Amino acid sequence: MNRQERPSGNGILSAIGWTPLVELTRHIELSGGHLHAKLEAFNPGGSAKDRPAKQMIETAMAAGLVHEGTTVIESTSGNMGIGLAQACRYYKLPLICVVDPRTQPQNLAMLKAFGAQVDMVTTPLQGDFLRARLARLCHLLETTPNSFWPNQYANLENPRAHQTGTIAEIDEQLGGAYDYIFVAVSSTGTLQGCQEFLQAHGRQARLIAVDAAGSVLFGGSPGPRLIPGLGAGRVPPLARDNMQTQVQRVSDLDCVVECRRLAYREAILAGGSGGGVLSAIRRMREQLAGQTVVAVLHDSGTRYLDTVYDDVWVEANLGLAADELASLVHADDQIPVEARQA
């Protein structure tokens, strides 16, 4: 679907999609290559999660699974909750969002502004907040009559929204001429959708999954993570065992530094996972020389002003003083290993 065919119905939900694709000319030198950023923050709810939120709700309505009075319940670190809150508010459906303490205050305020009920879990289960959120969600489903769980971790409408939207738009915006796509992973919906599109259309572009250090999505041991929406403490059903995808792991500090660099060099405020995506690209920049590269930036830095963009938070959580952080932000070299592990 091209831009001219975009529907005008469904009110604000019709504004979802066709987000800008901008070339980044000052951030990372790819030696004859081109780096483009897909700015998903331009969706009306502020993130890429608007796409699957709308699709999951509308598909469930069409199937008769959701109707007047149905309570929608979902586990979310923030962005999916906001996308669902917007869609549910539009369709006049009650919504309960199960969140954890890592959810940004701005996100909680937006959920409440849309009329969603926020249910906060305060203690991780087996060291992981996602497990705790899912346990609480199951309890709510059992005790709430006429309830529906979109289940972003297993719902095929999640990747389908990106297959028909995010990657299809990128493909049209670049005329099919691109070599690499970097996406952050959590539910893996964006990754799966991009993979399915590339395979269906015979595109030879390579797909790079950007995962958090401490995530178990592609193996390894679980560890602490501070950036919402990046990585997971358990493997969701959407993450297929046979998924042949190259993976780049990034630290919390990687995310912070690249977000700050992007703001300074390109005047773009990206969310935390976007910094991780750009860090992975920087790490591979010699391999990417002469290539056309797309970075999918899932949300806006306006939701991370109290964390990623706050010097006090960075020092308290990552152990770097403001001057030390600034020296990394303004350096052209990759972050030293000892700094990344601080």
State phi, psi for 148 to the nearest 5 degrees.
-140, 130
User: Which of 114, 145, 176 is a domain's end point?
Assistant: 145
Domain CATH code at residue 83: 3.40.50.1100
- Does one domain contain both 128 and 176? no
Domain finish residue from 80, 114, 145: 145
Asked if residue 100 lies in contact with residue 75, where contact means CB atoms within 8 angstroms, the answer is: no
Measured CA to CA in angstroms, residue 252 lies from 107, 128, 142, 185, 292 at distances of: 20, 17, 36, 14, 26
Would 336 be classed as within a structural domain? no
In a domain, 31, yes or no: yes
61 assigned to some structural domain: no
Same domain, 212 and 305: yes
Give strand ranges (E) for 58-131. Answer: 71-75, 95-99, 117-120
Q: Which domain holds residue 191?
A: 12-47+156-330
186 and 43 fall within a common domain: yes
In a domain, 36, yes or no: yes
Domain count, the chain: 2
Q: For residues 226 and 284, is the Cβ–Cβ distance under 8 A?
A: no
pLDDT tens digit at each of 342 positions of the chain:
555 455 556 799 999 999 999 999 999 999 999 999 999 999 999 999 999 999 999 999 999 999 999 999 999 868 999 999 999 999 999 999 999 887 888 889 999 999 999 999 999 988 778 789 999 999 999 999 999 999 999 999 999 999 999 999 999 999 999 999 999 999 999 999 999 999 999 999 999 999 999 999 998 888 889 998 899 888 889 886 546 689 999 999 999 999 999 999 999 999 999 999 999 999 999 999 999 999 999 999 999 999 999 999 999 999 999 999 999 999 875 555 555 454
* Domain end (from 116, 145, 174): 145
Residue 316 sits in the same domain as residue 167 = yes
At 251, give phi and psi (nearest 5°): -90, 170
pTM (whole model) above 0.75: yes
75 located within any domain: yes
Instruction: Please give the distance of CA 241 from its chain centroid, rounded to a whole number.
Output: 21
Half-sphere exposure of 91 (CA within 13 A, CB side): 27
